[in-house]
Structure 1
Amino acid sequence: MRKIKVARVFPRITKATPNDELAFYDCPPMFIPDIDEVHISVAFTYDVPKAEWLAKQWEAAGLPVKIGGPAFDAPGGDFIPGMYIKKGYVITSRGCPNNCWFCRVPI
């Protein structure tokens, strides 16, 4: 079974925004990579109108789009490192999956 490829779209770039090949910050590119669905992650309520506009742009490209994130009080669910924040960032209220011997915030 093939793993679902998810493009993540962010209405704002911060230091914590992922920078891998499936992270986007605007409208769909001219050549869209092979993806199965789009998640628009909204951290700040100020960005909701732009996120809704971006959702329409990605839907127009024929892709299924989900919109959510902290701005919508959406529960985080299972934490997947690097999915919606850059790898290496730690959310101390959830812990870190690396289990380093010196860390005080393991999962």
Structure 2
Amino acid sequence: MPIRPANYLKITSRSDYIENRRGIGIYQNSHLFQSLPAKAEFDFLDRSDIRILNEGMRSLSAQLLSTTTPKERHRIQIKQKLAYRNKQRLYKEELKRLRSSSLG
């Protein structure tokens, strides 16, 4: 039997998270945006290019709801993914710019 900290400290061992294959660590989710401070977030969302991009994403969502053919649905979904990735890229660039300006 391996020596565990719980054995050494003479406390009850917590192995339920190991048995359920769940870790207790915190991992970065690469699909989530890193957060800008609130004022920078509002400024980012108020930029004209971002407003145009958001309007395009809303338009694509509306088109997707009214589309009946699978081929057209797939084409719109690809456009949605491209728009989302473009917004995510711009957001990350803004975050990087803000970090570098606060360090310098």
Range class of TM-score, shorter chain: under 0.3
Give the TM-score taking structure 1 as reference length. Answer: 0.21
Q: Which has the larger radius of gyration?
A: 2
Name the structure with the higher helix share. 2
Structure with higher strand content = 1
